[in-house]
Amino acid sequence: MLSLEEAQSRAQDLVSAARKAGADAADTLYHCTASTNVSVRLGELEDVERSEGEEIGLRVFVGRRSASISASDMNPATLGTLVDRAIAMAREAPEDPYAGLAPEDRLMRKRPPALDLADEAEPEPAALKERALIAEEAARGIPGITNSEGGGAASGRSQMALATSHGFAGAYAGTSHSTWASVLAGSGSAMQRDHASHSVRHLEDIDDAEAIGVRAGQRAVARLNPVKVESGVLPVIFDPRIGSSLIGHLIGGMVGPAIARRSSFLLESLGAALFEAGVTIIDDPLLERGLRSRPFDGEGLPTQRRALIDKGVLTGWLLDSASARQLGLAPTGHASRGGGGSPCAGVTNVHMEPGIATPGDLMKDVRRGIYVTELIGMGVNGVTGDYSRGASGFLIENGAVGHAVSEITIAGNLKDMFRALVPANDLHFRYAMNVPTLRVDGMTVAGG
């Protein structure tokens, strides 16, 4: 794997080559990864996988015409061909009045902040195997578990470098460590499945493998013997594992391209109170050891902590440079980019700040409701906000969680759901997007 300095130099060299070949402007994203993944099943080693790869993506501009191309072959001759093809493609592309690099005066010029994203620890396959075995054995040890889909552990390192022809060059690295287990409880058509996992940047932060396995086993057993639910309008409480999906739908309506195309259910909501005043949602790309932290965005702009929802109010859109130009606004440092293609807009580490009520407080006045732990399908209309998804979880009766339920559908409209949403006080940072337990009243529940 290249050093960060070598990765940055490779990106800069390709940009220089594109300019010499006739491009008016260009940028390059270089990305390399190396990972080891060990999986076990029923106490036996099932697979050991080692993967390494690198990719470089080049975007060139000829006037207002642009093209993107990528390659995984770093041979100088191949990269030379890449440059020629990209420029030839750009000359044939349609003109785009919004195309171009990020505004030069907004580029990151300071030294990138240290976010502690890379760990020196690199576990050997034997250590990964041991962790996977412990997790699966703990899951299988829960009474009621009858089979296993396996357990696993992985570690990896990635590095990326970005260079532009108008003066930006930067690179950063990150590591990942993860453990998981997935098991089945019961038998025949009554069998139920569930899992548990944990992913972190630094190995020292990962949950104990046995604890992960126990969670997986307990979750699967708890889902046995689901009962039927009568259809009706009920309060729905979302487990933190899946409550973040609601915030994902919010973000999907905030991205600049959706606003520019006028295809978002939030189109007329800028500056409006979408939630109650107790709800604040933060995007924090500078979170130390965050799973999606980054010092600069996919166009070389500095990143910063920002409230997407501030005391219930929608504060603004998430803009890359192209959508910002289309809307007559400034880019917000939310550009994301893969190896090929143009940047798009996205978020990093997102969380909803906790409320003041405990999860028990949210539940205690619920005479009959649903505690949702799994969502199925993608029945959400990003233009209208209409929401309908398959779900499973547990029945809430008289303020307490009771029997498991499955094969139900929960439905509503996202704007109505946001206005009714109440967060609990149990926020924990475990994922790239984190929320506490959430209660949403007035949802339509259809039983199986």
Residue-wise pLDDT tens digits, 227-270: 999 999 999 999 999 999 999 999 999 999 999 999 999 999 99
What pLDDT does 340 receive? Answer: 73
**What is the average per-residue pLDDT within 173-189?**
96
| CATH of region 4-220, choose from 3.40.50.720, 3.30.2290.10, 3.30.70.1400, 3.90.550.10 | 3.30.2290.10
H or E stretch covering 57: strand 44-62
For 328: left if phi > 0, alpha if psi spans -120 to 50, otherwise beta; the answer is left
C-alpha to C-alpha distance for 199 and 30, rounded to whole angstroms: 24
**What is the average per-residue pLDDT within 69-96?**
93
Per cent of the chain over pLDDT 90 is 93
Q: Who's near 1: CB < 8 A, 6+ residues apart?
A: 32, 34, 52, 157, 159
Residue-wise pLDDT tens digits, 293-349: 999 999 999 999 999 999 999 999 999 999 999 999 999 999 998 777 789 999 999
Per cent of the chain over pLDDT 70 is 100
pLDDT band of residue 448 (cuts 50, 70, 90) is low
End-to-end Cα separation, the chain, in angstroms: 52
C-alpha to C-alpha distance for 50 and 90, rounded to whole angstroms: 37
* DSSP, res 113: P
What pLDDT does 2 receive? Answer: 85
Give start-end residues of each CATH 3.30.2290.10 domain in the chain.
Answer: 4-220
Question: Residue 17 above 90 pLDDT?
Answer: yes
C-alpha to C-alpha distance for 29 and 164, rounded to whole angstroms: 9
Three-state DSSP state, 186: coil
What pLDDT does 349 receive? Answer: 98
For residue 216, report the phi and psi dihedrals to the nearest 5 degrees.
-60, -45
C-alpha to C-alpha distance for 429 and 202, rounded to whole angstroms: 14
Residue-wise pLDDT tens digits, 120-165: 989 999 999 999 999 999 999 999 999 999 999 999 999 999 999 9
Nearest CA-CA partner of 41 in 178, 176, 184, 143: 184
* DSSP, res 302: B
Q: Who's near 293: CB < 8 A, 6+ residues apart?
A: 115, 117, 174, 284, 285, 286, 287, 348, 349
What pLDDT does 378 receive? Answer: 84
**What is the average per-residue pLDDT within 188-195?**
93
For the chain, the average pLDDT equals: 95
